[in-house]
């Protein structure tokens, strides 16, 4: 494996992505990860990430110096290069000319890192400091007109440093540079595949749980579904899934879960009909934060009750993903932010069970690839995100059965029409929101006074920012007329044309 030490760069996760795409397993750990643990990982290579600090600043982040005694191939990127320079006795200064953005570098010495690449390369720079004097036993490998040491190496060892960012798209040959490091310098092999990952995880789950039972809260979303499929492959009916129908689900959700994870598919899945309970607790509650809290708490109590009935269960499985677990010094990624308001967050703390988290080393798209490997249907793997508190955040004000019916029917129409024109995969989300207002309309000869539905469709890459989607007029028109004709109690449809920020994707 390759160890990536994180010094706070916004690109640390990208480094991991590039290494994995090259077929090599890697893990990110914080820069101050204990030396004993580093040695125990027995990495075949170490990457020191970039970071916002200056090496000459007081209390700048530094790894345990014994790391450099391990004799492991090392690649320092940006701040990582500067660390190498200062550690081995060179000198780093604030550059006179800060370099941000594209730069052209010239390779000055033949070496493994740039093997097979042209002598002139376009790269992406982002730094305010630069090496001024190299340590005695280092040599320059590449330069720009304003910086003599944009790539360096220690003579007779496999310690390299680059001042630019090979991990970003704006360094077109970055992938080759990283591949050269992995294969030519570290001697890795590109043998990390989803099939091999699934196999090692199956073995490790079996070792961890033995003959014990494991429970899992199955939501029908990508993460819990893939976790269920993996655990099922490992321990079959020792896995007990609990699916809670809280009454706030989309149309057909319960049937889908029953079909894919039910007894007919060989799963031990309990489907709990808790619709009445949730509705009762939500009666009269209009405040969105209170609604979310009630739903979260109620979910935990339903789940706990069921778990208790199973008696003696020691393990709780969760589909936690990598971005949620990295103890990174970098700002955590968007999925971590989304998860902060996920409604099963409080579960592990309450249950006092040992956690089984077989996806904790995977990124979202890797989870999808694993799901495919395990035969999880695309209708689950390729779904748009859906909030934990469900349709409750898409009904403004109090949630009632009648309002749930309206928003659920409208949502299904939006989904069907978006799918019909092949836009479902292109949009981040598309859904319906029910407004708690009535407006006047006419139907036939009658005057109506009914609800309004808002259609929301957004493009986004990470939910942190989003732009409203310019849906084709015919699609909007079809959605509107179908909702008004088919959803009883709705006489008006509006389209949300606000972006995030300042608006959010969901209305509550
Ligand atoms: P907002 O509305 O904050 O949503 O722009 C960003 C993304 O997060 C999803 N979302 C939630 N997910 N529980 C969740 O699990 C929630 O309470 C929740 N609220 C919003 C939302 O669908 C969007 O993709």
The pLDDT value recorded for residue 13 is 86
Of 26, 78, 186, 241, which residue is the catalytic one? 78
Which of 401, 222, 264 minimizes the C-alpha distance to 255?
264
**pLDDT score for 342:** 45
Q: What is the DSSP string of 259-284?
A: HHHSGGGT-EEEEEE-HHHHHHHHTT
- Atom 12 (ligand 1) nearest CA: 387
CATH 3.40.50.880 is right for the domain spanning 2-185: yes
Within 10 angstroms of residue 280's Cβ, the number of other Cβ atoms is 9
SS3 state of residue 6: strand
Give the span between the Cα atoms of 23 and 406, in whole angstroms.
48
How high is the pLDDT of residue 335?
Answer: 36
- DSSP sequence for 193-238: -HHHHHHHHHHHHHHHHTT--EEEE--SSHHHHHHHHHHHHHHGGG
CATH number for the domain whose boundaries are 400-495: 3.30.300.10
Q: Is 165 a catalytic residue?
A: yes
For ligand 1, the distance from its centroid to the CA atom of residue 462, given in whole angstroms, is 11
**Residue bearing the CA closest to ligand 1, atom 8:** 338
Kindly report the CATH number that applies to the domain delimited by 194-381.
Answer: 3.40.50.620
User: CA distances (Å), 376 to each of 244, 257, 379, in order?
Assistant: 20, 11, 8
In order along its 508 residues, the chain shows pLDDT tens digits of 999 999 998 889 899 989 999 999 998 899 999 999 999 999 999 999 999 899 988 889 999 999 999 999 999 999 999 999 999 999 999 877 777 889 999 999 999 999 999 999 999 998 788 899 999 999 999 999 888 999 999 999 999 999 999 999 999 999 999 999 999 999 999 998 999 899 999 999 999 999 999 999 999 999 999 999 999 999 999 999 999 999 999 999 999 999 999 999 999 999 999 999 999 999 999 999 999 999 999 999 999 999 999 988 999 999 988 777 654 455 443 333 333 344 455 676 777 889 999 998 888 889 999 999 999 999 999 999 999 999 999 999 999 999 999 999 999 999 999 999 999 999 999 999 999 999 999 988 889 999 999 999 999 987 888 999 999 999 999 999 999 999 999 999 999 999 999 999 999 9
Nearest CA to 297 out of 242, 244, 246, 343 is that of 343
CATH topology agreement for domains 194-381 and 400-495: no
Using the CB atoms, write b or e for 419-446: b if 16+ within 10 Å.
eeeebbeebbbbbbbbbeeeeeeeeeee
In the chain, domain spans: 2-185, 194-381, 400-495
Dihedral (C-alpha) 371, 376, 378, 381: value to the nearest 10 degrees?
-50
- Per-residue pLDDT at 325: 63
Q: Chain-centre distance of CA 267, in angstroms? A: 27
CA of 307 to the centre of ligand 1 (A): 27
Q: Cβ(30) to ligand 1 under 6 A?
A: no
């Amino acid at each position: 494996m390759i160890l990536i030490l994180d010094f706070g760069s916004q690109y640390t996760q990208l480094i991991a992505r590039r290494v994995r795409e090259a077929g090599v397993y890697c893990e990110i750990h914080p820069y101050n990860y204990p030396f004993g643990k580093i040695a125990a990982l027995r990495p075949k290579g170490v990457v020191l990430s970039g970071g916002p600090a200056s090496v000459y600043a007081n209390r700048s982040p530094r790894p345990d110096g014994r790391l450099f005694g391990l004799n492991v191939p090392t690649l320092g990127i940006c701040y990582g290069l500067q660390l190498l320079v200062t550690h081995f006795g060179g000198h780093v200064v604030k550059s006179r000319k800060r370099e941000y953005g594209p730069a052209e570098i010239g390779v000055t010495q033949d070496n493994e890192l740039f093997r097979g690449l042209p002598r002139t390369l376009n790269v992406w720079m982002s730094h305010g400091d630069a090496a001024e004097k190299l340590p005695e036993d280092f040599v320059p490998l590449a330069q720009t007109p304003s910086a003599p040491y944009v790539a360096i190496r220690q003579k007779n060892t496999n310690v390299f440093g680059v001042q630019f960012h090979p991990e970003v798209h704006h360094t077109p040959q970055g992938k080759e540079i990283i591949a050269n490091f992995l294969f030519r310098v570290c001697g890795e092999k590109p043998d990390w595949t989803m099939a091999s990952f699934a196999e090692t995880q199956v073995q490790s789950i079996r070792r961890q749980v033995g003959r014990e039972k494991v429970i899992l809260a199955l939501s029908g979303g990508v993460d819990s579904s893939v976790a269920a499929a993996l655990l099922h492959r490992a321990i079959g009916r020792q896995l007990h899934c609990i699916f809670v129908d809280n009454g706030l689900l989309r149309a057909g959700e319960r049937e889908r879960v029953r079909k894919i994870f039910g007894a007919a598919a060989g799963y031990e899945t309990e489907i709990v009909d808790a619709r009445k309970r949730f509705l009762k607790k939500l009666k009269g509650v209009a405040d969105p934060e209170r609604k979310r809290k009630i739903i979260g708490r109620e979910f935990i109590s339903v789940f706990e009750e069921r778990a208790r009935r199973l008696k003696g269960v020691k393990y709780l499985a969760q589909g936690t993903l990598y971005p949620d677990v990295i103890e990174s010094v970098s700002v955590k990624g968007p999925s971590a932010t989304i998860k902060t308001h996920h409604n099963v967050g409080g579960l592990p703390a309450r249950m006092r069970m040992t956690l089984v988290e077989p996806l904790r080393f995977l990124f979202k798209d890797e989870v999808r690839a694993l799901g495919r490997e395990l035969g999880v249907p695309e209708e689950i793997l390729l779904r748009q995100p859906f909030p934990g508190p469900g349709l409750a955040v898409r009904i403004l004000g109090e949630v009632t059965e009648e309002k749930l019916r309206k928003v659920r029917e409208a949502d299904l129409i939006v989904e069907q029409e978006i799918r019909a024109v092949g836009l479902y995969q292109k949009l981040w989300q598309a859904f319906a929101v029910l407004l708690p207002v009535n407006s006047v309309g006419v139907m036939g000869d009658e005057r109506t006074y009914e609800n309004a539905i808002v259609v929301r469709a957004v493009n986004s890459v990470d939910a942190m920012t989003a732009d409203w989607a310019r849906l084709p007029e015919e699609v909007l028109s079809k959605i509107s007329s179908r909702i008004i004709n088919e959803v009883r109690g709705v006489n008006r449809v509006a389209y949300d044309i606000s972006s995030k920020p300042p608006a959010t994707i969901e209305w509550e």
